[in-house]
Amino acid sequence: MPATQHDQSVDAVADALLNKGHISEKTFPQEHFHIVPPVAPGSATPTVAAATADGTAAAPALPLLFQPFTAKNLTLVNRVVVAPMCMYSSKDGFMTDYHLVHLGSFALHGAGLVLAEATAVEARGRISPGCAGIYKDDHIPGLKRVVDFVHSTGGKIGIQLAHAGRKASSQPMHTPEVFGPEEYWNDQVVGPSGGPDFQWDDKHRVPRELSVQEIQDIVKAFGAAAVRADKAGMDTVEIHGAHGYLVHNFLSPITNHRTDKYGGSLENRARFMLEVIDEVRKNFNPAKPIFLRLSASDCVEHLDITSFEVNQAVQVSQWAKDAGVDVIHISSGGNTALQKVSYSPGYQVHYASRIRKDVPGLPVVSVGSITSGKQAEEILQNGDADLIAAARAFLKHPTFALDAGRELGVNVNYAPQYFAARYA
């Protein structure tokens, strides 16, 4: 429902109640009548005050996790980031009430930055028919609705700009029966290289090799998406260069066998990514920061094959910084079914630490099985990262940021509607 229609419906309900005498102007002014009351602006959580056992401010320095972070004009009240998570709950790319509740709840419960899921810059760049899109102007109002709510909590929000590459047109992780065969685009799945040898697995489509003109068109699509993100009020955008999607496909020699200027050397394989960064930087608000998510390794060190690995990731991160990336979000894997990943607490922290050490001046987000405030604080105290992102931890506990604060002895400030939870 458009905002004006929503406002009219609220007014109609209020008028009806007033006319029937159920409420009065004196006791319940009409201007305060809201079906869903917004959170008071500026009520971002947590506050910056450590607490002792009796609740008074403590002298020790505030934990790093709850110190502000600034990149360009974006200042976060804490360093807790909600990592992008695909929800497969869109139709024709539109965000819905589900996304408003899902993303809004994280901001309402204190996350410093909420990153919306991988959102496709082309219709054919969606992972599945249920994935979000930002490939037409009609998507802007739905995005802005989510942004406005997050901002009403005092929170900040960004969106991940993505193209699925050879992983496109796949079945959503849950309820695939919702989408009929006509809603897939099996003959439009693309990648830097094409043919059966570049199929992810037998459940995915065989990709077709992109022409140079198509590559340039996709670069432009990223720029157009950045314009839409800014119009929607996003505080930042994150370019998705990880997990086996199109940017990562170009970076890795496993998936990029091109012999033109977009293949071969690392410099050539990084060309597409750098062109995307340049296009996004030119089209996104210059006062706002740009994030890049990068898989620092293909995770095939156990095999005797040429791959994208951490030494190359260091060089690519430096190039990205030079091209205009303000913050880098370090993950790993996702580009080949042959990968071998040893999942354990903080299993990707060493990649973030390496990038932070070898690319001075580029703030780093660490992610991957970070599930407690103490663990997150230790990563920051060790100098391994500047920000901490979590995904599954937020799915399990949308109050993860507040819980981490309490765990670290921080006097967290709940949203007004949830203030009673401080005493639970």
Q: Pull the structure tokens for residue 1.
A: 């429902």
Catalytic residue IDs: 245
Element (H, E) at 330: strand 327-331
Reduce the DSSP state of residue 133 to 3 states and report it. strand
Name which of 50, 111, 117 is nearest 79 in CA terms: 111
Q: Measured in whole angstroms, how far is the alpha carbon of residue 262 from the centre of its chain?
A: 27
Dist CA 263 CA 54 (whole Å): 62
Asked if residue 385 lies in contact with residue 359, where contact means CB atoms within 8 angstroms, the answer is no
Q: Pull the structure tokens for residue 354.
A: 């390496």
Dist CA 113 CA 169 (whole Å): 29
CB atoms within 10 A of CB 393: 23
SS3 breakdown of the chain: % helix, strand, coil, rounded to 5? 40, 15, 45
Dist CA 239 CA 328 (whole Å): 10
Q: Pull the structure tokens for residue 398.
A: 């949308």
| Phi, psi angle pair for 419, to nearest 5° | -60, -35
Dist CA 231 CA 147 (whole Å): 11
Name which of 321, 341, 166 is nearest 257 in CA terms: 166
